[in-house]
């Protein structure tokens, strides 16, 4: 029996840790740079030698960002549209995912195939048809229209992911509950749903990020009503004809990112487990 020699384990350790630090740096640096730029006074930003730590931190840029007209309206709108789109997607995807994962019916294969193909939809190209449909239905300048668009954009991925999670819950747990006298729905609620939490969290995060960022539809479908604008419109307002106010732009981007981070941090442990275990079965 031959023994495999581990050459120079100490060096391996060093190489590994260096690589790990490299990955960490590359992941984190851009975000770090954005945040410290937001705190630097403009004079310090427009200098040729970048400073890696703000010597004289200031809140001026955040003030500029917050004082943009309609700031709180934008936040309210983005939150409303995003949260309702995510909830709607979960509510619709869960029963479908359950039907595909647990039940047997003709057309099941066709359905899951259709859902997968739906991910290839060219949304940027559907802007004009959606506009026409919304116009003819008198749904322009109404926030729920955006909710519906974001809902259907995230639906395919949500169904596919939740299906993977449900398929992974051991059959025996459900059958034990059935044997205890629960109906199907109750067994699902008591047994499967709690175990789905990571999956629900990770698909929520995905849906949140998708809806939170969307610009083209928000720009084209919300026309006359100033009260209907969302945050991406606000973010685009910091560059003007003569150049970009980088400090204010970075401050705005930092604020823009906070809710996503907050949602993630709150769900943190479950999201990690969720992302790890989810989207496993196509």
Partner 1 sequence: MARTLARTAARPAPLIGAGTRRKGTFWPYLLVAPALAGFACLLVYPLARSVVISFQHFRLGELIRGGAGFAGLANYAEALGGPEFWGVVRRTFLWTAANVVLIMVISTAVALMLPRLGRRMRLAVMSGMVLTWATPVLAATTIFQWLFQSRLGVVNWLLAGLGFDSFRDYTWFAHGGATFAILVALVVWQSVPFAALTLYAGLTTIPGELYEAARIDGAGSWQVFGRVTFPILRPLFGLITSLEVIWVFTCFAQIWAISKGGPGGATATLPVYAFQIAQSLHRYDLGSAVSTLTVLMLLAVLVVHLRRMFREENA
Partner 2 sequence: MRYRLLATAAAFSLALAGCGSASEPGTSGETGTTTLTVWFMRDSLSDAIVQRFTDDFQRSHPGIALNVQIQEWDGIGQKVTSALASKDAPDVIEVGNTQVAEYAASGGVRDLTAKIADLGGSDWLPGLAEPGKIDGRQYGIPWYAANRVVIYNKDLFAKAGVTTPPKTRDEWIDVTTKLNKGGVQGIYLPGQNWYTLAGFVWDEGGDLAVKDGTGWKGVLDTPQALAGMAFYQRLQALGKGPKDSDEARPPQADVFGKGDIAQIISAPGGAVAIEKANPDLKGRLGFFPIPGKTADKPGAVFTGGSDLIIPEASAHPDEAYEVVKALAGEKFQLDMAKEMSYVPNRTSYAGVLSGDEATAAMAAGAAVGHATPNSPNWAAVEAKNVIKEYMTKVLTGGDAATEAKAASEVITTILNTAS
Contact between 10 and partner 1 (CB under 8 A)?
no
Residue 20 interacts, among partner 1, partner 2, none and using kind-specific CB cut-offs from 5 to 8 Å, with: partner 1
Contact between 176 and partner 1 (CB under 8 A)?
no
Applying the rule CB under 8 A, the residues between 40 and 99 that interact with partner 2 are: 46, 69, 76-77, 79-81, 83-84, 87
Contact between 11 and partner 2 (CB under 8 A)?
no
> If binding means CB under 8 A, how many residues of this protein chain bind partner 2?
41
Backbone angles phi, psi at 90, to 5 degrees: -65, -45
Task: With CA atoms as reference, report the closest residue to 209 among 144, 149, 261.
Answer: 261
Backbone angles phi, psi at 104, to 5 degrees: -120, 120
Q: How far is the CB of 11 from partner 2 (least distance, A)?
A: 45
Nearer to partner 2, 112 or 221 (CB): 221
> If binding means CB under 8 A, how many residues of this protein chain bind partner 1?
105
Q: Which residues bind partner 2 (CB under 8 A)?
A: 46, 69, 76-77, 79-81, 83-84, 87, 127, 131, 135, 138, 140-144, 147, 197, 215-216, 219-221, 223-228, 233, 236-237, 239-244
């Amino acid at each position: 029996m031959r023994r495999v020699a581990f050459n120079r384990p100490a060096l391996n350790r060093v190489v590994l840790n260096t690589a790990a630090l490299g990955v960490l740096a590359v992941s984190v640096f851009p975000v770090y740079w954005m945040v410290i730029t937001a705190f630097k006074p403009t004079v310090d930003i427009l200098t040729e030698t970048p400073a890696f730590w703000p010597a004289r931190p200031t809140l001026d840029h955040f003030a500029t960002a917050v004082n943009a007209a309609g700031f709180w309206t934008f936040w309210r709108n983005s939150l409303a549209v995003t949260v309702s789109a995510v909830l709607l997607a979960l509510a619709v995807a869960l029963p479908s995912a359950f039907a595909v994962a647990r039940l047997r019916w003709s057309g099941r294969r066709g359905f899951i195939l259709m859902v997968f193909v739906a991910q290839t939809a060219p949304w940027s190209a559907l802007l004009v048809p959606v506009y026409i449909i919304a116009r003819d239905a008198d749904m322009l300048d109404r926030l729920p229209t955006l909710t519906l668009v974001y809902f259907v954009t995230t639906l395919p991925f949500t169904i596919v992911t939740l299906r993977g999670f449900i398929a992974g819950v051991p059959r025996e747990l459900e059958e034990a509950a059935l044997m205890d006298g629960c109906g199907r729905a109750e067994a699902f609620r008591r047994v499967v749903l709690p175990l789905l939490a990571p999956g629900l969290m990770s698909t929520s995060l995905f849906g949140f990020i998708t809806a939170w960022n969307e610009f083209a539809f928000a720009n084209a479908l919300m026309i006359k009503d100033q009260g209907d604008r969302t945050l991406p419109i606000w973010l685009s307002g910091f560059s003007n004809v003569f150049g970009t106010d980088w400090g204010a732009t970075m401050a705005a981007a930092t604020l823009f990112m906070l809710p996503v981070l907050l949602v993630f941090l709150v769900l943190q442990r479950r999201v990690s487990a969720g992302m790890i275990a989810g989207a496993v079965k196509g």
